[in-house]
Amino acid sequence: MANEQTGRALLNERSIKVLNAEMNEVKRAKKVLRILEKIYPEVAVPLDHKNIFTLLISVLLSAQCTDLNVNNVTKHIYPKYNKPKHFIKLGRKKIERLIKSIGIFRIKAKSIYNLSKTLEKEHQGKVPNTFEDLEKLPGVGHKTASVVMSQGFGYPAFPVDTHIHRLAQRWGLTNGKNVIQTEKDLKRLFPERYWNKLHLQIIYYGREYCKARECHGISCKICTTCYPNRKKPIKTKKA
């Protein structure tokens, strides 16, 4: 009987700790949202595009590359080439030449070419508006599909890249296992109506205030608000 009571007591203690941890996460999330809303009441999509198809192409190109570099390249492409049939006609080699200043351009050119063929063959040249269909396209993963669903179609989504993954760890919003877990945690902590705007706010804030090699979790407004007693730089787990 005594062992059973001790077991229940330990279980209750663990439950209280879990509950307190969740409550603290909720409090931090509210602080983060309040700060971001104040600094970035309006946010623009960082990747320039002419339509949903070119948004998809730009997101694909942005892997391991800055948005600025992508925009500098696509500003010479999209005025003339902005539909799947245009890239099919170009062919892989010409696409490579157009995007050669972007990282892993050969792999990306192959994806763009094959993706364009798939869109023409299976979707009448239009970008599908479901996660399932998007993630079947060549070179399109969950994060890319989430950006297109969010920024292109206005569907509630929370795209998580390595930068958002890092920031969510610094701010105590996730345990940092992987981007999949981080996405689930952020969706749990923030109301759905904020997701599309919030993921952009986090990106802009990280670039401006909570940089990987500058803030280290101890100097920006959000880090100091969420963890006022933190003294040592925090190490984050890679995605």
Which residues are known to be catalytic?
A: 143, 161
Q: Which residues contact 165 (CB under 8 A, 6 or more apart)?
A: 174, 176, 178, 179, 182, 236, 239
Q: Which amino acid is at 157?
A: A
Is the dihedral angle over the CA atoms 218, 220, 222, 225 positive or is it negative? positive
d(CA 195, CA 225): 21
d(CA 90, CA 86): 6
Helix (H) or strand (E) holding 161: none
Q: Could you write out the DSSP letters of every residue in 209-236?
A: TS-TTTTTTSSSHHHHHH-TT--SPPP-
